[in-house]
Structures are given as structure tokens and as C-alpha cells.
Amino acid sequence: MRSIIPTLLITLFLAACQQHELALDSSVGIRELTVLYSNDEHGWMEGREASTGAANLLGLWRQKEGYREDGPFLLLSGGDHWTGPAISTWFEGEGMVEVMNAMGYDATAIGNHEFDFGLDNLEQRIAQADYPYLAANIQWTANEAPPRDLGILASSVITVNGLRVAVIGLSTINTPSTTNPVNVAELTFLDYEPVLRKTAQQLRASDVQLTFVVAHVCMSALRPLADAVADLNISLMGGGHCNELVAEKVGDTILLESNGHFRTYARAHFKYDVNTDRLLTSNFSVEGNEYGISDPVVEQIISKWQAATESELSVVLGFNARELQATDDRLQRVVVESWLQMDSGADIAINNRLALRSPLPRGELTLADVVGLLPFENTIVAVELNGTEVLEVIAAGQNPFIAGLIRTENDWLLRKTGRLLDSAETYRVLVNSFMYEGGAGYGSIAEFDDAGFDTEIHYRQPLVEWLSTQSSSADRPLVFP
């Protein structure tokens, strides 16, 4: 008996220890996942300010978040990758896709500015990307089929750290008025909720554990959408388009958005128990792109595109003593006044304010600076409008900037004659082609004159010529009236 009892006690003790160890090891079956989220990058691979570009952001993710491509991370974007500074715009987004490939992005929404260079270009950029471009709410108008032939997908299922994550894309329904409508004339943009419900239902057969949405959609629409589809158990919705800095929860859904241009990013962290098939915890925040050590691979790619930009767009046009923001009235005025100088027969020029996108920097001004300021593929269109129609166009648009008219307390005077606008008189009015095609709420222009004359002059060319004729220098900088 003496030899049996100690053996029995030892066996019982070891069994108890094993059970205790199993009880303590609560991490068995727990999977963690971190989402790093950006949106509205708009070609700012170099950064708006020093050390805030894509290379710095990737370095910061490695330092601060522990990011690695084979780790428990998802890099997601809310779209609008190009149309910004010349380094991206001039090459129609090619450099931005190369940068985002190197950073390791996993999926993105389709932004309205993805269409700025036409469907053929978008198809090329999607083929170039190592990540999918997603928008479940886009279809061909003719046959109501999804545009898979362009490479646009409704969703993507990505396995990260043993978790199957469904990522569904949405594109803003305002796309036909926020890119040149001609570029998307063959496409229809559907309401968000029905499409989201349909896509989520289809993905149930894919045995996914988490569902995320990347949406080029403002928070004013995304918040009520998250509330309306609470029953779909969507854990994260990322926004875009309005450049809002957001990290919050609506019900059980985390909402994220950065303020664009790689200046910030949003993040969310999830813990999921695969044994019980439930999300245990989540947290979220927004972070600044500060103090990141520049990633050498991305830095080298940016240097290559900087050299290409310098090679093609380094012509010096003048010297500016003070940086002017794109919203500065002096800069807006010079643009539309340059149109009138180009066409001496025109009476009025009207430009939507958001046609100007980047600051005009201090110092020597090059063609690259003007491309960044006026990045869209717009031409100048001449239309014939009477006085009443001119006033309707001014009232309908997004706070346009106008040349050739003088505002009095209650009326508008034509500068050429000093007389009031007259409904019985017809005026030659210059607008950009985006406006003429109905962009930004200017649909009435073509209704008033459906035979508008496309001058085929790029809307930035008159400014280029104006800058060149000023003969400015550091000793004699530009004067903006």
C-alpha cells in the first residue's frame, strides 16, 4: 500500500496541474486583428508637409503598430487615390498604385476621383494593383451587370491570422456629379442599404467571421447606414469623400475615417474567439502621421516618380512671394480672368471653386505646380446664355467664382458695358467641361445651351500663359490682383 498511495497522489496532482494550465490558457482560439485605415490620399505620396508622406506613414505603422505584411493586419482605404499633385495627376495615378502596392494595402473602395481619367485608365490601374478595388453599388446601366470587366468587385474575402474577413465596397452615389459625368455615363450608382444587404447575404455562404465595409461615403450618410443595417453584424465601416477625422461607434459598428492626404490614419483592433465564434473586444482611434522613419522601399519609388515629374514638368513659369491656398479669392480670380484674356469675345467666365485643388507654393513656380492646382482633365466650353440664365447658373452651383461681372448690393453688372444683366440679351459665357456636363449641380448649363462650343483648350492652359507673360522673378514676384 505504501508504494501505491504516493503513485496515486502524484497522478492526481499532475492531472490537476494539467487542468489548471488549460484553465489559465484562455488565449487558445483567440485571434487578433488590427485594421489600419486611410482614405482620400489624392496622390500626396510626398506628403503635404515634410515627413508626412506615404514612406513616413509606413515607417510609423512599423514602429508604432508593429505592422508587418505577414502579420495580423489589414490595410484598407476609402478611395480617391489620385487627382492631386502633379506627381500623381500627370501620370494618371500609376505612381500611387505602385506606392500602395509597396505599402501592402489589402483592399480599397472606389472613389469618385478614380474615374477622373476615364474607364480605360481605371481598368489599367486596377490591373496594376495587388489589392482589389471594391464597390458593390456600381453596375452597367445597359444590362444592370456588375462592372467586373473593369476589375471592380463587390467584395473580397481575406484570411488574416486564421480569420476570414469579408470586405464589402461602396462608392458615393454622388459620383456622377463629382467626377466628369461623361466618364461614368454608362454606369449606375445604387443606393447603399439594399446593395449592402444583398452582398452580406451572399457572403454568408463563404463562412466569414467578420464583415467590414470600405466606403467612399461621408459620415452624414454612413452613420445612419450603420444604424439601419445593425442586424447584419458589420464590425467596421470605413468612410471617405468628406475628409473627416473619425473613430467612433454606432451600435456595435466601428466607424473610421482619416482627414486624407496621408496626414492621419484611423485604426481598429479586434479580438475574436474562433471556438465560440464571437467577437470579444474591439477598440479604435485616430492617429497623426508624425515621427515615422521613412521606409526606404517606398521612398525609392517616390524618388523615381519625383524624377519623372521633374523631367516633364520642371519648366519655370514665374516666382511667387507667398503661398496661396486653393480657396484664396486672389488665386481663384486669376484663373477665371485668364480665361477671359484667352477669349476676348467672351463676356463672363464661371468656374466651380473646387476645380482648384492644391496650394500655389511660394518660390519658383513650375508647370508641375499648375498641374497640381488644376489637376482635372477639363477643357473650356463657351455657351450662349441670357441674363436670367446666367443668374440661375450662379445660384445653382457650388459657390462659383465669376469673372466679367461686378456684384452690386442687389444686382450684377456686366463689366464690359457697366450695364445690368438683361434677360433679353445673350452673353458668351466660359465654363469648364465638368460644369457643362452637369457636374456639381450645373446641369442647367447644357439645358440652356445644348450646342456649347468646346474650345479644346485645357482649363489650366490660360493660367500657364498668364504666369509666363508676367516675367516675374525673386526680385519682381507675381502680383495677384
Domain boundaries, the chain: 30-304, 315-469
Helices (H), 61-118: 86-89, 94-103
Q: CATH number of 315-469: 3.90.780.10, 2.60.40.10, 3.30.70.260, 3.20.20.70?
A: 3.90.780.10
- Name the residue among 312, 313, 309 with its Cα closest to residue 464: 313
> Quick one: pLDDT at residue 7?
52
- C-alpha grid cell, residue 268: 481598429
Output the CA–CA distances (angstroms, integers) from residue 134 to 181, 188, 216, 430, in the order listed.
20, 15, 10, 37
Helix (H, G, I), strand (E, B) or coil at 237: strand
- Name the residue among 24, 27, 25 with its Cα closest to residue 271: 27
The string of DSSP codes covering 274-300 is TTTTEEEEEEEEEEE--SPPPPHHHHH
Distance CA(398)–CA(193), nearest Å, equals: 28
Work out the widest C-alpha separation in the chain, in whole angstroms.
122
Strands 363-366 and 163-171 turn out to be unpaired
270, burial (CB in 10 Å: exposed 0-12, middle 13-18, buried 19+)? buried
> Quick one: pLDDT at residue 399?
80
End-to-end CA gap in the chain: 109
> Quick one: pLDDT at residue 8?
47
Helix (H, G, I), strand (E, B) or coil at 310: helix
Helices (H), 154-288: 175-178, 192-203, 219-228
Distance CA(358)–CA(312), nearest Å, equals: 19
Contact 90, 59 (CB under 8 A): no
Contact 320, 362 (CB under 8 A): yes
> Quick one: pLDDT at residue 398?
72
Contact 340, 401 (CB under 8 A): no
> Quick one: pLDDT at residue 21?
39
User: For residue 36, what are the β-bridge partners?
Assistant: 75, 267
Rg over CA atoms, the chain: 27
- Name the residue among 229, 226, 228 with its Cα closest to residue 238: 226
- The CATH class for the domain spanning 30-304 reads alpha beta
Fold match between 30-304 and 315-469? Answer: no
Residue stretches of the chain with pLDDT short of 50: 1-5, 8-25
Helices and strands in the chain, H and E counts: 15, 24
> Quick one: pLDDT at residue 4?
46
Residues in the chain: 481
Residue with C-alpha cell 478595388? Answer: 133
